[in-house]
Amino acid sequence: MVRLIDPSLKKLSFALSEMGTLDIKIMSLATESFVVGTNTSSEALKISDMISKKYFEVGNLTFEILLKYQPVAQDFRFTRSSIEISYDFLRFGRYAYDITLIRDSFGDLRRCVRTHLNDSFVLVERMVKDAILSFATLNLDKARHIQEQEAMVDIIYRERMLSLINSKDTKCAMAEALVLRYLERIADHALFMSDSVNYIITGEHRGRPPIRKV
């Protein structure tokens, strides 16, 4: 039986799904920009703007659902969490766009790419895809796995930032530091998103990590 709230929830889910699709595209552009050396910032900006518009669309939809239907239980948790998740999607897009701007500022940086940096891009892209899939399917196991992945990103980030202090290649060191910082922030938002999925399913938050100082 179709409830009055169902069409609006479906519309909200679709808007979030579109944001997820756009985020996967812009993450690919970020990787291509730094690892392959392609200038992708113009295309990334367009996608980032599209994600921003979707963010406001989700905000309006959640407000409408809460006002018109006063959802309870899981419907309420889903609607409330959609606001947080749409913000995580927004930050995915913004940080990915920021990575493409590094190439604009520093030029072709392919000579700076090392195995650990490739690994970071692969890991964070996988985290974004897993976060999107865990939300789309409300998969609790996949959401919990993101916490392990985020811990790996943190380890790489801390170790590389310390080693870059002594680097003699200033250009590569600065570029890599920026990339690692943006990737670390994307990973954090994937973790936040997994916590929102946990809340939708269980009604409880695992708790978000404290703000780290570098």
Q: Which segments of the chain does DSSP mark as H helices, in order?
A: 6-31, 41-69, 73-106, 115-137, 140-164, 170-202
What residue numbers bound the domain in which 113 lies?
A: 6-202
Model pTM greater than 0.85?
yes
Q: What is the CATH number of the domain that holds 81?
A: 1.20.58.220
Q: Number of folded domains in the chain?
A: 1
Residue 212 belongs to some domain of the structure: no
Check whether 214 has a pLDDT greater than 60. Answer: no
* C-alpha distances out from residue 48 to 9, 25, 29, 65, 92, Å: 24, 10, 11, 26, 9
Tell whether the model's pLDDT for residue 211 goes beyond 50: no
For the chain, percent of residues with pLDDT exceeding 70? 96
Supply the pLDDT for residue 115.
77
Q: 191 with 146: CB under 8 angstroms? A: yes
Q: How confident is the model at residue 210 (pLDDT cuts 50, 70, 90)?
A: very low
Q: What is the mean pLDDT of the chain?
A: 91
Bin 204: left if φ > 0, else alpha if -120 < ψ < 50, else beta: beta
Is position 40 within any domain? yes
The band of 188, judged by pLDDT with boundaries at 50, 70 and 90, is: very high
Residue 72 belongs to a domain: yes
Is 48 part of any domain?
yes
Does residue 119 sit within a domain?
Answer: yes
Asked whether residue 1 is assigned to any structural domain, the reply reads no
The upper half-sphere exposure of residue 10, i.e. CA atoms within 13 Å in the direction of its Cβ, equals: 6
End-to-end CA distance of the chain: 53
What whole-number distance in Å separates Cα of residue 7 and Cα of residue 64? 12
